[in-house]
């Protein structure tokens, strides 16, 4: 994958050995290109750098989870006797630490996974590493490279190789000495020019890719959550999203048994919280049902599962109930808008009625639910935004995020804005200086005036605060009811008052009176 976003891909073709399994795959860049033989081993020691993203969602204080894409690539290399070491700069480490690691461990190559947010910050970091260690090649993968291809190597001279889309097999080819011109998906320099080889075919047999065991990571530095990617690719076409470009538009999935094997591996090592990061976890109902059966059959009873990529039109109450039975406790839905008109404009491919039904059933079954919205789509009015806020406040959800829509070059959204509106700053500025949760308009487009866009961002920020307050009151009520459960009905009435807004006000007043003596 590789943050590289996640994975590998196989198709029809010759057999090869991955770990202890015989795996079918296609290494050709086109149906007619013959398979090329490897040369002499090129890199036997790889130092992976997980880059940092200051002030963003992936800042040090925002996440304590090992980088999943690097985990996949490192595990693939490790099973082929290539030594790996991982340094996570997102844990508060800087360029100086990266340089010291390169100097002390002496890798044959450095590999990084890049996201687009703050890309200039990471270009500068790689320049520092290159200047300090000029003889060590740098390989870059990840969503940024997959989306911007040759531009990345043109803009950052420190990078020697780029890998687009799934990274495991191209990275293995590069390390094992396959001719550079014949490695599918590889971006490289040739005769002073940046050259992009044809893309690799998507891996269809995802079970052939070993899941990360993070043996090259300092796991003591992370939390207890295990991220799982059980599928890759997105067949939908939302105008603002890069998923199809980064992961491919063909959806592919691991088998239920293979996913359960990964859960079992970590469960046996004491882990109990699992987060599915698929963009389309529930796309195939039968696979989800089979996974639930596998979890139950294996006696995995204490685990809790989070599914972050759930399409409302791909679940119903019986499926949600079955998932809840085996330990799924948190769901996240990409709602995007509370208006059917806007859902159609952004090509979401869902109806608000289906989204509403899925959220209602999820809340009723006891799930903690998070909703994701985007603010400012071309054609969206201030009243449409208010509809989104009313929709978010309709149910007792856990959280809701209203992202300030960011036009990424190469997306349909970006092209629409150039055609019908105008950017208020250049992409290199907002991609490096602003995160999507910052409340600053980035473009002007039909639907709202600039002042209305500012108002839209303000009211959605206020809505998020209100939703979080309501969730905290519910949690306080549940905790208080538990404390006073032995007093029966009186205890429940007291607990409800104790955790209500009047109750909170009374408690503050009492504390103030006691403090005054």
Cα(309)–Cα(63) distance, integer angstroms: 18
Q: With beta carbons less than 8 A apart as the criterion, state whether 350 and 311 touch.
A: yes
Closest CA to 52 of 99, 7, 130, 115: 115
Mean pLDDT of 357-383: 97
pLDDT 10s digits, 192-235? 999 999 999 999 999 999 999 999 899 999 999 999 999 999 99
Residue 466 to residue 461: CA distance in whole angstroms: 9
Convert the pLDDT of each residue in 82-117 to its tens digit: 999 999 998 888 999 999 999 999 999 999 999 999
* C-alpha span between 404 and 424 (Å, rounded): 14
Beta strands in 124-253 (DSSP E): 138-141, 161-163, 186-190, 193-196, 225-228, 231-232, 252-253
- Tokens standing for residue 87: 């340094």
Lowest-confidence range among 48-62, 257-271, 348-362, 423-437? 48-62
pLDDT of residue 21: 31
Distance CA 365, CA 368 (A): 9
Confidence of residue 438 (pLDDT cuts 50, 70, 90): confident
Q: What mean pLDDT value characterizes the chain?
A: 88
**Does the pLDDT value for residue 510 go beyond 90?**
no
Could you tell me the pLDDT band of residue 119, with boundaries at 50, 70 and 90?
very high
- With 0-12 / 13-18 / 19 or more C-beta atoms within 10 angstroms meaning exposed / middle / buried, residue 172 is buried
**pLDDT at site 31:** 30
Higher pLDDT, 65 or 56: 65
**Confidence check: pLDDT of 424 > 80:** yes
Judged against a pLDDT cut of 90, whether residue 356 lies above it is answered with yes
Q: Which two tokens stand for residue 410?
A: 């190469």
Asked if pLDDT for residue 245 goes beyond 50, the answer is: yes
Mean pLDDT of 462-489: 85
Q: What is the pLDDT of residue 495?
A: 60
How large a percentage of the chain has pLDDT more than 70?
85
pLDDT, tens digit, for every residue of 276-315? 999 999 999 999 999 999 999 999 999 999 999 899 999 9
- Sequence-distant (6+) residues with CB within 8 A of 13 are 24, 25, 26, 27, 28, 35
Exposure of 362 by Cβ count < 10 A (0-12 exposed, 13-18 middle, 19+ buried)?
buried
pLDDT, position 18 = 30
pLDDT band at 491 (very low <50, low <70, confident <90, very high): low
Average pLDDT over residues 476-483: 81
For 383-396, give the secondary structure using H, E and C.
HHHHHHHHHHCCCC
pLDDT of residue 183 exceeding 90: yes
Average pLDDT rounded to a whole number, residues 347-356: 97
- Give pLDDT tens digits for 72-82: 999 999 999 99
Q: What pLDDT is stored for residue 502 in this prediction?
A: 66
% residues pLDDT > 90 (the chain): 77
φ and ψ at 342, to 5 degrees? Answer: -70, -40
pLDDT at 9: 28
> What is the structure's pLDDT at 30?
32
Partners of 370 in the beta sheet? 332, 399
For residue 419, pLDDT beyond 60: yes
Q: Are strands 193-196 and 273-276 parallel, antiparallel or unpaired?
A: unpaired
**Residue 484: is its pLDDT beyond 90?**
no
What's the pLDDT score for residue 37? 47
Closest CA to 200 of 27, 420, 452, 84: 27
Query: Could you report the per-residue pLDDT of 7-51, keeping only the tens digit for each?
Result: 322 222 222 223 333 333 333 333 322 333 456 899 999 999 999
Instruction: Enter the DSSP assignment of 447.
Output: T
Q: Residue 401 in contact with residue 464, Cβ under 8 Å?
A: yes
| DSSP secondary structure letters along 289-345 | HHHHHHHHHTT--S-EEEEEEE-GGG--HHHHHHHHHTTEEEEEEEEE-S-HHHHHH
């Amino acid at each position: 994958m590789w943050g590289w976003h996640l994975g590998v891909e196989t198709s029809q073709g010759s057999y090869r050995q991955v770990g202890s399994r015989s795996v079918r795959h296609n290494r050709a860049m086109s149906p007619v290109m013959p398979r090329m033989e490897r040369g002499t081993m090129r890199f036997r020691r790889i130092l992976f750098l997980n880059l940092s993203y200051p002030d963003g969602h992936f800042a040090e204080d925002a996440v304590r989870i090992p980088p999943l894409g690097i985990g996949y690539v490192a595990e693939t290399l490790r099973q082929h006797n290539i030594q790996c070491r991982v340094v996570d700069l997102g844990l508060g480490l800087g360029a100086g630490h990266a340089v010291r690691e390169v100097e002390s461990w002496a890798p044959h190559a450095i590999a990084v996974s890049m996201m687009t947010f703050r890309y200039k910050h990471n270009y500068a970091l790689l320049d520092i590493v290159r200047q300090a260690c000029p003889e060590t090649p740098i390989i870059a993968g990840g969503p940024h490279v997959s989306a911007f291809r040759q531009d990345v190597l043109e803009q950052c001279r420190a990078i020697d190789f780029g890998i687009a889309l799934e990274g495991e097999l191209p990275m293995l080819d590069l390390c094992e000495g396959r001719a550079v011109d014949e490695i599918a998906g590889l971006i490289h320099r040739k005769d002073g020019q940046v050259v992009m080889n044809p893309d690799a075919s998507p891996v269809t047999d995802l079970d052939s890719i070993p899941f990360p065991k993070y043996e090259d990571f300092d796991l003591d530095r992370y939390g207890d959550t295990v991220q799982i990617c059980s599928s890759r690719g997105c067949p939908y076409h939302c105008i603002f999203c890069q998923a199809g470009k980064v992961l491919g538009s063909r959806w592919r999935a691991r088998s239920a048994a293979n996913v359960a094997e990964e859960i079992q591996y970590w469960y046996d090592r004491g882990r109990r919280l699992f987060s599915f990061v698929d963009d389309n976890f529930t796309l195939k109902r039968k696979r989800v049902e089979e996974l639930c059966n596998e979890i139950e059959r294996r006696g995995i009873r204490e685990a809790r599962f989070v599914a972050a990529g759930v399409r409302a039109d791909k679940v119903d109450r019986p499926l949600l109930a079955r998932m809840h039975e085996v330990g799924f406790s948190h769901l996240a839905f990409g709602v995007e808008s509370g208006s059917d008109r806007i859902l159609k404009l952004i090509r979401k491919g869902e109806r608000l009625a289906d989204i509403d039904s899925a959220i209602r059933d999820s809340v009723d079954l006891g799930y903690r639910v998070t909703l994701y919205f985007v603010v400012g789509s071309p054609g969206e009015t201030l009243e449409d935004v208010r509809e989104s806020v009313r929709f978010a406040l309709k149910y007792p959800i856990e959280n809701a995020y209203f992202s300030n829509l960011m036009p990424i070059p190469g997306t349909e959204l970006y092209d629409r804005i150039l055609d019908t509106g105008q950017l208020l700053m250049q992409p290199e500025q907002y991609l490096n200086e602003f995160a999507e949760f910052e409340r600053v308009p980035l473009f002007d487009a039909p639907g709202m005036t600039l002042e209305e866009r500012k108002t839209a961002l303000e009211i959605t920020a206020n809505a998020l605060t209100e939703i979080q307050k309501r969730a905290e009151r519910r949690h306080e009520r549940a905790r208080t009811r538990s404390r006073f459960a032995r007093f029966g009905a009186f205890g429940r009435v007291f607990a409800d008052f104790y955790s209500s807004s009047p109750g909170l006000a009374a408690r503050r007043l009492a504390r103030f009176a006691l403090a005054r003596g």
